[in-house]
Chains A and B, each alone.
Chain A
Amino acid sequence: MKVVTNIFGSSLGKKYVMAISGAVLFLFLIGHLAGNLQIFLGPDVINRYGHLLQSNPELIWPARLFLLLMLVLHVWSAARLTIENRAARPMRYAQYTPLAASYASRTMMMSGLIVFTFIIYHLLHYTVRVKAINLTGQDFAGPEFQTPIKGLIGEHQHDVYRMMIVGFSNFWVSAFYILGMALLSLHLSHGISAMFQSLGWKNRVYGPFLDRAARVVAILIFLGYVSIPVAILLGYGKEAL
């Protein structure tokens, strides 16, 4: 019991919860990016990958529920910590100069909230496939987004490739996606190194390296994700439209 109160009832413990859940979500981002980038290998490859995930509910659902739990823990700890932090300074300074603190570190709550709204939109857009919000007038869940599986007569799989091309061809959808990724990258540029600090896995020897690596990784993740809508807006996969 002491372990539970030490973790969920203390300031440091809540930061462990935030760091560990953040680490899992960060690893998911890398996996998700690796999956998405298969769009550049052509429709067959990414559609096969999409079918692999969608045809294995006993694997995908535990993964989804686990990620949801991590997201809930991440948001819960952020909310609790923010409430406590606000309460710790009831009277603000008339003049206050942020010292040494990076822009990202001071705006984690704001970048996090915007990324959170992005995640909800993104799930409704490509996972639940709500027609009304994709702004293209096409139904991603409809039969026109089904494609035959090669070698299996009569079997169909979801045409993930065409869905992505059609989806990102809309300028506003891509713009919101790029904004979401930019804020996610800002969030990560602080979060990746801060999680090592919160878990106590940082010292003077490799601490400065972690700080720099966090920024580089955040930028790489941004470039990786954004490459897809940018390529599509520039004409990649036009034949699928």
Chain B
Amino acid sequence: MNTESMWYIFINACLVNNFVLAYFLGICPFLGVSGKLDTASKMGAAVTFVMLISSMCAYGIHALLVAVNAPFLQLISYIVVIASTVQLVEMFIRKMSPALFRALGIFLPLITTNCAILGLALFQTNKGYDFLQSLVYALGAGAGFTLALVLMAGLREQLGFTEAPKVVRGTVITLLIAGILSLTFMGFSGLGN
């Protein structure tokens, strides 16, 4: 059993080992949906929600699989749970806000294949977190993902006003900025001990 404090887990998941900038999880939406600040923050919220639900489910599934001694089913059952949660969120957003639904576009169903969510479920199992710790971990990871996405979107909105050379426009300059952001986040290492 893991005895890390809640505060440590949160800071660790959110800043020190930021899922996007240190673990490279969830790069696809990070590069794809970070064009506009508004969309980015809502995407972050949707991902955080899916993370919370799937983290809870993953905790239960892990306990069940240990009980029936079938650890090889872990990956398959995690992905099924995540896929169904995403389906739920998709239906909810379509009903509540069709505009947001259009803005997120293909990236909404693609939350299923967002490595950050499956990665979260796997990491919390590997680290042996209990139920509450898992929840805090999911919250921290979600906050970190949203933070990275929002920072990136803010920078890219500014970038729209500059005249970057044609060859670096698009993915190249986004990756360069991501690299600099990642360097910045290294300044947080050692925090939360």
Say whether A associates with B: no
Binding site for A on B (CB under 8 A): none
Binding site for B on A (CB under 8 A): none
